[in-house]
Amino acid sequence: MLATCIRMEQKKLRHSHLWLVFAVIPVIPAVMGAGNYMQNLELLKSGWYSLWTQVSLFYANFFYAPLIAVYCSYIWRVEHMNYNWNTLMTMPVPRRDVFLSKLLLSLECTVGLQLWLWILYLITGKYCGLPGMPPIQILIWLLRGSIGGLAIAALQMCLSMVIRSFAVPIALALIGSILGLLASNSGLGLFWPYSLMMMGMNANRQEDMVSNLGGFLAAAVIFLVLFVLFGILWLRKKDVTAG
C-alpha cells in the first residue's frame, strides 16, 4: 500500500515546476559564497575549505531549510485545496502510508539538493581558480548534513500538514535556521533540528563541528522519529472538514 501511495504522490508532482526552483535557487548561495571568497582572498587562504565556509554560510543559514519547506508545503497544498482533504481522509489506505509516502518523496528532495550543491560548489571552485578537486571530506559533510535535513523534512511535513498556508511553514523554516545558527554557536545544536543540518554540513567552519558523531546521529534519529509519530497520529485523529 505504501508503494501505491508513493506512485500517487509522484503523479501529483508530475506537472509541477518544483524542479526548476530547486535547480535555480541553490545557484544564489553558491554565487554569493564564491563572490565573498574572491573578495577576501587575503584572509581566506585554505583553498577549497575556505570556499566551503562561504558557500555553506549562505546556503545552510538561509536557503536549505526553506527549500525543503517549499517542497513540503507544495506536497500538502494539493490536499488543502478545495475538498481534496476530505477525499484524502476517506481513502481506503492507512494514514501511516499517506504520511510516509509524502515524507519519502521529500527525503529525495533533501538529498538531491545536497548533491546539486556539491556540483555547484565544484563549478564555482574552478571558476575561482582552485586547483584539483575538493576534499572528499566536504562531500561527507554535505551528506552528513542530509541526515540533519531529514529531521527538518519530517518537521516541515508536519507543519505543512497542520498549517493550511503555503508561505507560513516556509517562513518558519527560515526563522528556524536563524535560531539554529544561534543554537549551534551556543553549544545547544543537538537540541534544535535546524542546527543539526548546519552542524552536519560544518557550515561556515573549517574545523569539524561534530565532535560526537554518535550523539549527532542519535539526536537526528530522535527528532525524525518524533516528527513522524506526530504526523501519523495527527492524521489518524483528523477527520473530514466541512465547507
Domain presence at residue 243: no
The 3-state secondary structure of 133-187 reads CCCHHHHHHHHHHHHHHHHHHHHHHHHHHHCCCCHHHHHHHHHHHHHHHHHHHCC
Quick: pLDDT tens for 55-76: 999 999 999 999 999 999 999 8
Domain presence at residue 242: no
Residue-level pLDDT at 197: 93
In the chain, how many domains are there? 1
Quick: pLDDT tens for 17-40: 888 999 999 999 999 999 999 999
Domain range for residue 91?
2-237
Per-residue pLDDT at 206 exceeds 90: no
Q: Look up residue 224 and give its three cell numbers.
A: 525524525
Domain presence at residue 120: yes
Domain presence at residue 192: yes
Residue-level pLDDT at 239: 61
Name the band, by pLDDT with cuts 50, 70 and 90, for residue 242.
very low
Domain presence at residue 64: yes
Per the model's pLDDT, the better-predicted residue between 242 and 112 turns out to be 112
Residue-level pLDDT at 142: 93
Per-residue pLDDT at 14 exceeds 90: no
Quick: pLDDT tens for 156-193: 999 999 998 999 999 999 999 999 999 988 889 999 99
Worst-scoring range by mean pLDDT, 72-86, 127-141, 195-209?
Answer: 72-86
Name the band, by pLDDT with cuts 50, 70 and 90, for residue 51.
very high
Contacts by 104-109, CB closer than 8 A, 24 or more apart:
104/6, 105/6, 105/9, 105/10, 105/13, 105/75, 106/68, 106/71, 106/72, 106/75, 106/153, 106/156, 106/157, 107/150, 107/153, 109/18, 109/22, 109/67, 109/68, 109/71, 109/153
Mean pLDDT of 73-99: 80
Domain presence at residue 197: yes
